[in-house]
Structure 1
């Protein structure tokens, strides 16, 4: 098949346009964050880690903390963002009593901003309620996925339960079957 003169001239331009657009699309916010709640049998703690795309966090921090914030290199901005995340994440026990998580720290690692929290595991915990509102005030389409991992004593294995929390969601209940 012989290409017309116009097609021959337009093809390289169209190819370049498609390549540029794919780069632009990949640079946009993911609008998704991941949290992990681990029931650590060795330490008897509930360990929580929150992972945010640094690109998303950088865009949101300007509105949340002020336009001169810099998550990549400013420890004060990092601490303020970590505090914001910790205020947006809540755990309750099966009786709906608050599980007051303590701050373990935060870090920038590659393209992610991590926030860490923990609390000693309460006795006889059979369920938890989870609320995660981080960045949903900035982006109504923000999805926060939370994975809960705990040991299943009868089978000597680990179980993982997951919930995806959108802006319209309220408390999410997860049964802890041990």
Structure 2
């Protein structure tokens, strides 16, 4: 296999769910390879995509991610996630979401399907930072909803 063909074989995204004590929010930050995001926008829209030059394409991808990521509270209900925005940073496209923290939250149930219908080998990893601890959930193969208890 030549170097260009092997240059980008890993289909993976990394997200962080952060309990921000200062703001009282649960902040969600998704990081995708911009190459994957641009390719996905092209497949979804049926036309070429330009994440660098077209803010609309970045937001189309952000909405796509927002519709495929869900947080459900265990022990109490969370408000729906709000899509905050998206930005390019080097080789990555970041998508940001938020919701308010609530009392009585005993854990989270998560769904993270972004890109998995396009590429079955896609792996979506979520690091949950809460109370000085980081715990990780990995969505691959047939995972639909994963739970994390506090």
TM-score over 0.5 (shorter chain) = yes
The equivalent residue for 1:160 is 134
- Superposed CA deviations along residues 88-112 of structure 1, whole A, max 9, x for unmatched, are 0000011584640111111011000
8 Å CA contact retained: 1:33, 1:143: yes
* Alignment partner of 2:113 out of 111, 133, 137: 133
The equivalent residue for 2:5 is 24
Displacement of 1:59 in angstroms is 1.6
Name which structure has the greater RCO, CA cutoff 8 Å, separation 6+. 2
TM-score by length of 2: 0.93
Displacement of 1:135 in angstroms is 0.2
SS at match of 2:147: strand
More helix by share: 1
- Are the structure 2 counterparts of residues 96 and 31 from structure 1 closer, same or farther at C-alpha, using a change threshold of 3 Å? farther
TM-score by length of 1: 0.79
Between structure 1 and structure 2, the one with the greater Rg is: 1
- Superposed CA deviations along residues 47-92 of structure 1, whole A, max 9, x for unmatched, are 0000000111122211112213211210111111100000000000
8 Å CA contact retained: 1:65, 1:80: no
The equivalent residue for 1:49 is 29
Q: 5 Å matches for 1:1-178?
A: 21-26=2-7, 28-95=8-75, 97=77, 99-151=79-131, 158-176=132-150
8 Å CA contact retained: 2:35, 2:91: yes
More strand by share: 2
Q: How many residues align?
A: 150
- Are the structure 2 counterparts of residues 40 and 61 from structure 1 closer, same or farther at C-alpha, using a change threshold of 3 Å? same
Structure 2 unaligned regions, length at least 5: none
Displacement of 1:30 in angstroms is 2.2
Query: Structure 1: which 4+ aligned runs deviate by more than 6 Å?
Result: none
